[in-house]
Chains A and B, each alone.
Chain A
Amino acid sequence: MLPAPILLKPVEMHIPDGFLSLPVALIFWALSAALIFLAVRRTQRELGERQIPLMGVMAAFIFAAQMINFPVAGGTSGHLLGGVLAAVALGPWAGMLVMTSVIGVQALLFQDGGLLVMGANIFNMGLLTTLIGFGLDRAVIGRGIGARLGVAGIAAWLSVMAGALFTSLQLWLSGTALLGIVVPAMLGVHALIGVGEAAITVAALGFIFRTRPDLLTAEVGRSRGGGGWVIAGLLTTLAVVLVSPLASAYPDGLERVAGDLGFLSVGQNAPYQLLPDYNLPILGESALSTVIAGVIGALVVALLAVLAGRALNRANRTKT
């Protein structure tokens, strides 16, 4: 068994380069890039020129806040990841950009997480967490402080679990981990980390509510009418809640489903293929072919994500 301090750090979720296969890395880069693109446009409209100092300083805040810890037991300590805090306090789009910057700087400056897999890291720790955080918060926005804090706590715990689940699934799809081991292990460790995340998030938001309640209502008010966020947040939550026990208890079942859908080649001798015949037939089984196939896949996913985002935006606008 490894010393517990190594296990109980948020670092466990920063995937380094080399752990994800090229198609998985590229597809998550595309997903993240599409969401970041939308976030850039939305924040530009909502915040104007004020956005750059606000988001820049708040990104530095998340980075610094991740240093604040509290001792748990036996030399371990609780930390903050910050996605839900950023989403509730700054709104979803600004929260996404802030988290993206934090993860990007951690990778570029400290080698915390890889460069080629940064898209996956941004997705797991930045985008998923803000989506769940804002979506759930938005669902109880008129219900008073107690309800909002309670829901923020649940969202914080769930966001850590969602990040851990997606990290495990990405490792599994890359053929670098066994589903039946990695999912229970990651979720087990992060169930504890998530409690720390929830406690700090709730206390921090409570503090802001007590001292500057205007901030929390003002920033959220700017993104009012986000019914789409509620749906997206709830659906993501539901997916995490449903898939986690399934993947832990019946890994064979999930592998069968993924195999039937053609998502998987784990257990075959083609480790670098997301799809069984991932290579383009014309080019044969070369590295170039894999790259091109990956790029095509990534472009398709990016296109779908942008279209979905546009639809979400439109739905939001018609509601306001």
Chain B
Amino acid sequence: MHVDLFDRFRAGASPIHRLDPRVKVVVAVLFILSNVLLPDGAWLAFALAFIGLLFLNALAGFDLLFLITRSFVALPFALAGVSAVFALPGRPLWAWEIGPWQLVASDAGLLRFASLLTRSWLSVQMAILLTATTQFPDLIHALRHLRVPQVLVAVVSFMYRYLFVLTDEAMRLLRAREARSARPAAGGGGGSLAWRAWVAGNMAGQLFLRSYERSERVYAAMQARAYRGHLLTLNPHELGAYDWLLGAAAVGSLILLQVIARL
């Protein structure tokens, strides 16, 4: 139905798009690692990392706000980190008593929470950049080169292939339910909660059977076509001088960042 509903890849011919996906995966993971290693309150280093992201964003040919507007996906989870404010001893800022709990917010706790959000926010932007500049088959191919077990890579590439097909199937089921469920203007209706859950479960079961039977058909078709165990990509995937150079520059900047944070 709507393939681009999912695909977060943004076509382009920028230096970042051309970079070997292996280099991109490794640099992205190292960038996230570097964020985790930055101490609480290393604002200069956080700012430099952000500038680096903006630079890569511009190099990839995206609008200035591209990464930022997409970066709020992880925001709901921030809730889970709120209690960090109370977790560290330090100069107390406020104190509350809620029922059995006595909560003391400290300056160290607040600093931890702010640093936590910054780290997470920077990391998710890098992951977005990776996905936006690398086609998923290339990404999977890079994982294969990076020694992820073959079987897992093959399963993931199959999953990607059928993601859209089965999501379509799920959407058809949802639409069919919608079409058959009257919604009285006065509100209410739709049966009891247990009944609604039962219907949703039946839909999941239905989807399971359709998927299972599809997998049997797929296997038969694969046998007919002599599948060799991995999906092919037209991109060459050879590490050139350009890839090594850019990779080395990125790693060097990350090391420099760590040094700056500890000065």
- B32 surroundings in chain A (CB, below 8 A): 17-18, 114-116
Name 28 A/B residue pairs within 8 A (Cβ), A-sorted: A11-B77, A16-B120, A17-B124, A18-B120, A25-B36, A43-B151, A56-B155, A56-B158, A56-B215, A57-B211, A60-B166, A64-B169, A65-B204, A97-B152, A101-B152, A102-B159, A109-B136, A114-B74, A196-B197, A202-B201, A203-B199, A203-B200, A203-B202, A208-B208, A212-B209, A215-B209, A266-B87, A272-B39
Select which of A57, A72, A176 is within 8 A of B84 by beta carbon.
A176
Per CB-CB distance, the 5 closest pairs between chain A and chain B, nearest first, are A203-B201, A56-B158, A207-B205, A18-B120, A18-B119
Select which of B86, B149, B218 is within 8 A of A37 by beta carbon.
B149
**Cβ-closest chain A residue relative to B77:** A16
For the complex, is A299 an interface residue (Cβ under 8 Å from B)? Answer: no
In the bound complex, do residue A207 and residue B206 qualify as a contact, i.e. CB atoms below 8 Å apart?
yes
Q: Known A-B contacts: A36-B152, A58-B215. Give 13 more (CB < 8 A).
A: A60-B162, A64-B169, A108-B139, A109-B7, A111-B124, A176-B84, A199-B197, A200-B197, A200-B204, A203-B198, A204-B205, A215-B212, A287-B258
**Cβ-closest chain B residue relative to A186:** B80
In the bound complex, do residue B165 and residue A60 qualify as a contact, i.e. CB atoms below 8 Å apart?
yes
In the bound complex, do residue B159 and residue A182 qualify as a contact, i.e. CB atoms below 8 Å apart?
no
- A54 surroundings in chain B (CB, below 8 A): 212, 215, 219
A-contact 0/1 string along B134-173, CB 8 Å cutoff:
0010010000000001011011111111110111011101
Residue positions of B touching A, CB distance < 8 A: 6-8, 28-29, 32-33, 35-37, 39-40, 70, 73-74, 76-77, 79-81, 83-84, 86-89, 101, 103, 108, 112, 116-124, 127-128, 131, 136, 139, 149, 151-152, 154-163, 165-167, 169-171, 173-174, 190, 193-194, 196-209, 211-212, 214-215, 218-219, 222, 229, 258, 262
Describe A's contact surface by its main secondary structure. Answer: helix
Q: How far is the CA of A101 from the CA of B140 in the complex (A)?
A: 12
In the bound complex, do residue B112 and residue A271 qualify as a contact, i.e. CB atoms below 8 Å apart?
yes
Q: How far is the CA of A192 from the CA of B57 in the complex (A)?
A: 41
- A6 surroundings in chain B (CB, below 8 A): 76, 79
Q: How far is the CA of A176 from the CA of B87 in the complex (A)?
A: 8
Describe B's contact surface by its main secondary structure. Answer: helix
Task: Report, as a range, how many residues of chain A touch the other chain.
Answer: 35 or more
In the bound complex, do residue A204 and residue B218 qualify as a contact, i.e. CB atoms below 8 Å apart?
no
- B219 surroundings in chain A (CB, below 8 A): 50, 53-54
- B171 surroundings in chain A (CB, below 8 A): 67
Q: How far is the CA of A177 from the CA of B81 in the complex (A)?
A: 6
Task: Knowing A105-B159, A111-B131, say if A18 contacts B36 (CB, 8 Å).
Answer: yes
